[in-house]
Structure 1
Amino acid sequence: MPRNRRPRDREEKSAEIVAAAATLFTDVGFEKTSLVSVAKVAGVTTNTIYWYFESKEALLVAVLDHLLAEALHGVDEQAETPLVDRLLWVVGRLDERAKLVTTVHALATTSPVVEAWHDGFHAVTNEILADGLRQSGIPEEQVVPMTRLGVFAIEGLLMHPLPEAEQRAVLRLALDGPR
Structure 2
Amino acid sequence: MPRNRQEVPREERIDALLAVAEQQFLARGFAATSIAEIARAAGIEPGSVYWYFRSKDHAFAAVLNRLLDGEVDRIEEFDGDPTQKLFAALDSVERRRSLHPCVAERAPHSPTVMEYHERLHSWLHDLALAAVADHATGPDRDIAADAVVATIEGGLANPAPARPTSGLVRYLLAAFAAQRPQEPTEATASS
TM tier relative to shorter chain: 0.7 to 0.9
Residue identity matched to 2:28: V
What is the aligned length? 173
1:16-165 to structure 2, matched below 5 A, reads: 16-81=16-81, 83=83, 85-134=84-133, 136=134, 138-158=136-156, 159=158, 160-161=160-161
Q: Deviation of residue 162 (structure 1)?
A: 6.0
Contact 2:71–2:89 under 8 Å retained in 1: yes
Residue identity matched to 1:28: R
Corresponding position of 2:186: none
In structure 2, what is the Cα distance between the partners aligned to 1:89 and 1:132?
12
Residue identity matched to 1:75: I
Within the candidate set 158, 167, 170, 2:168 is matched to 170
Cα distance change on mapping 1:53 and 1:39 into 2, 3 Å: same
Q: TM-score, normalised by structure 2?
A: 0.78
In structure 1, what is the Cα distance between the partners aligned to 2:79 and 2:162?
24
- Larger Cα Rg: Structure 1 or Structure 2? 2
After superposition, give the CA deviation of every residue in 1:59-78 in whole Å (9 maximum; x if it has no partner).
Answer: 11100011122334432343
In structure 2, what is the Cα distance between the partners aligned to 1:4 and 1:41?
18
Contact 1:61–1:114 under 8 Å retained in 2: yes
In structure 2, what is the Cα distance between the partners aligned to 1:78 and 1:177?
26
Q: Provide the aligned C-alpha RMSD in A.
A: 2.4
In structure 2, what is the Cα distance between the partners aligned to 1:93 and 1:120?
15
Residue identity matched to 1:92: D
In structure 2, what is the Cα distance between the partners aligned to 1:69 and 1:156?
22
In structure 1, what is the Cα distance between the partners aligned to 2:111 and 2:126?
22
In structure 2, what is the Cα distance between the partners aligned to 1:153 and 1:87?
13
Contact 1:88–1:167 under 8 Å retained in 2: no
Contact 1:126–1:151 under 8 Å retained in 2: yes
Gaps of 5+ in 1: none
Identity of aligned residues (%): 26
Contact 2:85–2:127 under 8 Å retained in 1: no
Residue identity matched to 2:53: F
Between 1 and 2, higher relative CO (CA 8 Å, sep ≥ 6) is seen in: 1
Q: TM-score, normalised by structure 1?
A: 0.83
In structure 2, what is the Cα distance between the partners aligned to 1:142 and 1:70?
31
In structure 1, what is the Cα distance between the partners aligned to 2:166 and 2:64?
25
In structure 2, what is the Cα distance between the partners aligned to 1:66 and 1:43?
21
